[in-house]
Structure 1
């Protein structure tokens, strides 16, 4: 039933949206999507409209009015927001979340691994000599110790990565 209704209304909606979009200052595709959403909401709440063509025309005009009202109320920035060089806020938030998850996993590592991994992840970019001196171990054992700790970390994070 729904598929037949969508198939029957598609050409009419495409024509109505194309006719009204320019005057509303929006894209015809945006109007179409909004009306399809209204139709789905209508079907869920009340069932199919008695006169689908009439309902569709009214829905397109209602969306045009809503779009105009929204455009009147929303004000654009006078200029584009300044990029302060730190990047996209969403990407920054995701990177911070990944960093927190990594540091939480590092704290759960056994033995000397948490201290070693924290030293390797330090923003100061310490050399192997500095890390060995800080941890009180020989510089030659850092490589094998690091490999062992990374293996533990990989096993610890595997379930979390697989869950995503």
Structure 2
């Protein structure tokens, strides 16, 4: 049963395209500029989140790739509460960014 499940899962899973590296982004100035703008917009939105969300999201976005245990120790909260707090923070961030980005009009046209 486990083998069948693994076979089914591999048929459905589609690998992500390789993420552009800094070296690849350095070759294309437009890509580097767009990547930088996206990072600045994300960091700006994270900074405007309420409560301890900015610290938590900053730790999750950290290039140090911290574990939940390390993040909990750094923020001084229990490891079990990280998931629910992260979920609420991502919900706030999602609503905030959705309000900033206008939805396309009918048939995909911009308004």
The match for 2:55 is 115
The answer on 1:86 being equivalent to 2:27 is no
For residues 102-154 of structure 1, the C-alpha deviation after alignment (integer angstroms, 9 at most, x for no partner) is 10010100000000000000011111000000000001100000000000001
Shift of 1:160: 1.8
State the distance in 2 between where 1:124 and 1:142 align.
Answer: 18
1:63 match:
none
Say which structure, 1 or 2, has more relative contact order (CA 8 Å, 6+ apart).
2
What's the offset of the Cα at 1:161?
Answer: 2.0
Aligned residues: 81
What secondary structure does 2:77 align onto?
Answer: coil
Hey, which of these two has a bigger chunk of helix by percent?
1
Q: Which runs of 4+ in 1 moved over 4 A?
A: none
How far apart, CA to CA, are the structure 2 residues paired with 1:161 and 1:125? 29
Q: Any stretches of 5+ residues in structure 1 without a counterpart? A: 1-83
Larger radius of gyration: 1
Query: 1:144: which partner in 2?
Result: 84
1: CA distance between counterparts of 2:90 and 2:41? 15
TM-score of the aligned structures, taking structure 1 as reference length: 0.47
TM-score where L is the length of structure 2: 0.68
Unaligned runs of 5+ in 2: 1-21, 105-111
Structure 2 residue 93 is the aligned partner of structure 1 residue 153: yes
Alpha-carbon distance between aligned partners in 2 of 1:89 and 1:139, rounded to the nearest angstrom: 41
